[in-house]
């Protein structure tokens, strides 16, 4: 059936213009039937469900793959244009390549198995936010199925809407000489995670950087699942053993996710901390919701009786302030936008038994809170998020963002100084526990048993002026400190601790943390090495290496968890 749409007709899912008798051409637009980006730093992680395509050359490569099924074309191709919607300005642009392999699958492609690049097609120059175009005529002359690959031209990362982005998703526009036939390929036009249900208008934030927002659609209801509660009491003994997975466990393919979570169970892991990224769920705008990667993770963890701590954080491009556009670690322009998202997270996953939520990550330093830390803005964000989370899930437990080791000065705050500052800015009553990252690795330093004023572990209770005394001074002496990250790298610099040193820190860390009467779970960062760069400590915090082989710390963790020591 042909349905007139202005000057276009709809044929199945393909949008094709009617042939122009004067020009003798027909224009057809296709969306990809598969697209995904791959990341060198996480060579076994699948990002096919993420609503963005990404390119980067530094420090680790990211490239994006798009597959178009063009079917039988209406005639010879005059011009083929790839259109992408950029979420952030790209100063250097991107290069498009063809790839001979068209059999890859969106939910299986990872850096380690990604198709090799074929001929280079075109390079673009830098672009502003919005639509960009590239001539890819050479790749599509014969129709059929084609794979296009995007790589970065320079240090500036590219972030583009993927097919999950709905109307801003990639388009391949073909101008063809009319021969009386209409192209027979298919165009996927559905935006399955747009959910126009009820609306609400958030109130205006009283924080310094808040702005008024418009009404929005609420998130889709939670998937059907069981119930279960977390009251905050069951975090002692064997239940204090956790893993902080880092950024990307939600994007693992089904097979790798199952294998990894099964190994967690073999280790004795009771808690998993994962990133519940606002920038991932709502990349397409305030009314877009892409829950699929998190739904899979929550269900898989529930099947294995692993409790979840979700770190809610990181700002999508549309919610960033004017002076901080290029990084999802930018603080949101309006704390109420973040709070609304946090409330929808609690609403969706509370019925599935997820009740523990950490509000942001390492907000006392400028790596994860850009452009620079602000205790007053964070306190406003925490207050707003706490209200929304509790409103949507009465059983929820709210943990402050884990505080990183730092000294006060140069834009950063020590953990103690930052906690004191948010108290001064009205944070009391807006959290149930304090998140802390008590790292103290430094070569041969006996961490955590040895005291040092610079040691984040010592700053929990040992230093003059510490987190415990600060909590007590504010009437919160009964609040627990959760170690939402702790670990040490085995190599990467002369300050790394080696295999034996890492195993010792596992044993000593859980023994000592469990001996305190004021602690919750301790989450070891991380399960697997993030990359293989021998000169980068960030690559080597895992209990297992990148190839899956176990370090001595794996056995040390299992022994500690088995004994509840």
Statement: residue 109 has pLDDT above 60: yes
Q: Are residues 58 and 146 in the same domain?
A: yes
Same domain, 95 and 236: no
Domain presence at residue 170: yes
- CATH number, domain of 441, equals 3.20.20.80
Residues 6+ apart with CB under 8 A from 22: none
Q: How many residues does the chain have?
A: 565
Q: Are 395 and 229 in contact, with CB atoms under 8 Å apart?
A: yes
Looking at residues 463-470, what average pLDDT do you find? 96
Which is nearest to 302 in space by CA: 341, 347, 272?
272
| Sign of the dihedral defined by the CA atoms of residues 477, 480, 484, 487, in that order | positive
pLDDT in tens, 310-348: 999 999 999 999 989 889 999 999 999 999 999 999 999
Same domain as 559, residue 434: yes
pLDDT digits (tens, 9 = 90+) for 351-363: 999 999 999 999 9
DSSP for 270-329 reads: -EEEEEEEHHHHTTT-TTB---HHHHHHHHHHHHTT-EEEEEEE---GGGS-TT--S-TT
Same-domain status, 253 and 134: no
Residues 50 and 125 in one domain: yes
User: Long-range contacts of range 37-41, CB-CB < 8 Å, 24 or more positions apart?
Assistant: 37/62, 37/63, 37/64, 37/65, 38/62, 38/63, 38/64, 38/65, 38/109, 38/110, 38/111, 38/114, 39/111, 39/248, 40/111, 40/531, 41/530, 41/531, 41/539
Least confident of 55-64, 97-106, 238-247, 491-500: 55-64
List pLDDT tens digits, range 519-530: 999 999 999 998
Range of the domain at 247: 230-563
Q: Mean pLDDT lowest for which of 246-255, 436-445, 473-482, 509-518?
A: 246-255
Average pLDDT over residues 467-488: 97
Q: Do the beta carbons of residue 259 and residue 544 sit within 8 Å?
A: no
Q: Is residue 198 part of a domain?
A: no
Proportion of the chain above pLDDT 90, given as a percent: 64
The pLDDT value given to residue 564: 67
Its pTM stands at: 0.69
Tell me if 26 sits within 8 A of 18, measured CB to CB.
yes
The answer to whether 148 and 99 are in contact (CB under 8 A) is: yes
Q: 467 by DSSP, 3-state: which?
A: helix
Q: What percent of the chain clears pLDDT 70, i.e. is strictly above it?
A: 84
Report yes or no: 41 and 151 within 8 Å, Cβ to Cβ: no
What does 217-245 look like in DSSP terms, one character per residue?
A: EPPPPPPS-------S---SGGGGEEEE-
Residues 250, 128 share a domain = no
pLDDT digits (tens, 9 = 90+) for 140-185: 877 889 999 999 987 667 888 888 766 678 999 998 886 654 444 4
362 and 297 share one domain: yes
Q: Is residue 212 part of a domain?
A: no
Tell me which of 217 and 75 has the higher pLDDT: 75
For residue 191, give the 3-state DSSP assignment.
coil
246 and 353: one domain?
yes
pLDDT of residue 308: 97
What is the predicted pLDDT for the residue at 182?
Answer: 43
* Boundary (domain end) residue, out of 177, 212, 240: 177
Question: What tens digit of pLDDT does each residue of 30-55 get?
Answer: 989 999 999 887 888 888 877 789 89
The count of structural domains within the chain is 2
Please say if the pLDDT value at position 71 is more than 90.
Answer: no
Q: Which residue has the higher pLDDT, 320 or 232?
A: 320
Q: DSSP states of 87-150 as a string?
A: SS-BSS-EEEEEES-----TTT--GGGPPPP--EEEE---B-SEEEEEE-GGGSTT-SEEEEEE
Nearest to 188 by CA among 166, 161, 210: 166
């Amino acid at each position: 059936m042909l349905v007139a749409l202005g000057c276009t007709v709809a044929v199945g899912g393909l949008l094709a213009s009617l042939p122009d008798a004067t020009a003798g051409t027909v224009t057809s637009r296709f969306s990809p039937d598969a697209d995904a980006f791959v990341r060198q730093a996480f060579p076994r992680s699948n990002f096919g469900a993420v609503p963005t395509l990404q390119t980067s050359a530094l420090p680790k490569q990211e490239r994006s793959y798009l597959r178009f099924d063009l079917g039988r074309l209406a005639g010879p191709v005059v011009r083929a244009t790839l259109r992408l919607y950029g979420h952030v300005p790209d100063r250097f642009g991107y290069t498009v390549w063809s790839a001979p392999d068209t059999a890859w699958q969106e939910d299986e492609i990872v850096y380690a198995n990604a198709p090799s690049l074929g001929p280079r097609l075109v390079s673009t120059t830098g672009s502003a936010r919005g639509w960009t175009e590239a001539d890819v005529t050479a790749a599509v002359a014969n129709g059929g199925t084609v794979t296009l690959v995007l790589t970065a031209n320079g240090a500036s990362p590219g972030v583009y809407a993927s097919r999950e982005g709905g109307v801003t998703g990639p388009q391949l526009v073909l101008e063809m000489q009319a021969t009386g036939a209409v192209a027979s390929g298919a165009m996927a036009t559905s935006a399955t995670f747009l959910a126009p249900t009820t609306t609400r208008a958030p109130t205006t934030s009283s924080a310094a950087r808040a702005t008024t927002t418009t009404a929005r659609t609420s998130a889709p209801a939670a998937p059907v699942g069981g119930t279960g509660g977390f009251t905050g009491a069951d975090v002692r003994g064997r239940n204090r053993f956790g893993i902080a997975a880092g950024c990307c466990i939600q994007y693992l393919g089904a097979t790798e996710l199952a294998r990894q979570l099964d190994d967690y169970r073999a280790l004795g892991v009771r808690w998993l901390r994962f990133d519940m990224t606002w920038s991932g769920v709502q990349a397409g705008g305030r009314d877009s919701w892409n829950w699929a990667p998190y739904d899979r993770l929550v269900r898989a963890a529930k099947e294995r009786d692993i409790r979840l701590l979700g770190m809610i954080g990181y700002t999508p491009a549309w919610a960033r302030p004017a002076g901080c556009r290029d990084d999802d670690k930018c603080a949101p322009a309006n704390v109420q936008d973040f709070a609304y998202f946090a409330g929808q997270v609690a609403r969706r996953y509370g019925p599935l038994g997820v009740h523990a939520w950490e509000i942001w990550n390492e907000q006392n330093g400028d790596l994860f809170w850009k452009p620079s830390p602000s205790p007053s803005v964070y306190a406003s964000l925490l207050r707003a998020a706490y209200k929304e989370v509790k409103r949507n899930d009465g059983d929820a437990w709210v943990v402050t963002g884990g505080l990183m080791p730092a000294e006060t000065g140069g834009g950063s705050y020590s953990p103690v100084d930052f906690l004191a500052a948010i108290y001064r800015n009205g944070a009391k009553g807006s959290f149930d526990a304090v998140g802390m990252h008590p790292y103290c690795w430094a070569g041969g330093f006996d961490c955590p048993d040895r005291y040092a004023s610079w040691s984040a572990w010592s700053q929990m209770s040992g230093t003059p002026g510490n987190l415990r005394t600060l909590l007590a001074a504010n009437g919160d002496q009964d609040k627990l400190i959760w170690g939402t990250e702790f670990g040490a790298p085995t190599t990467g610099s002369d300050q790394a601790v080696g295999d034996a040193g890492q195993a010792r820190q596992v044993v000593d860390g859980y023994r000592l943390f469990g001996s305190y009467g004021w602690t919750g779970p301790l989450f070891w960062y991380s399960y697997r090495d993030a990359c293989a760069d021998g000169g980068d400590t960030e690559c080597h915090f895992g209990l297992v290496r990148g190839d899956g082989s176990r370090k001595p710390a794996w056995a040390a963790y299992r022994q500690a968890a088995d004994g509840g020591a």
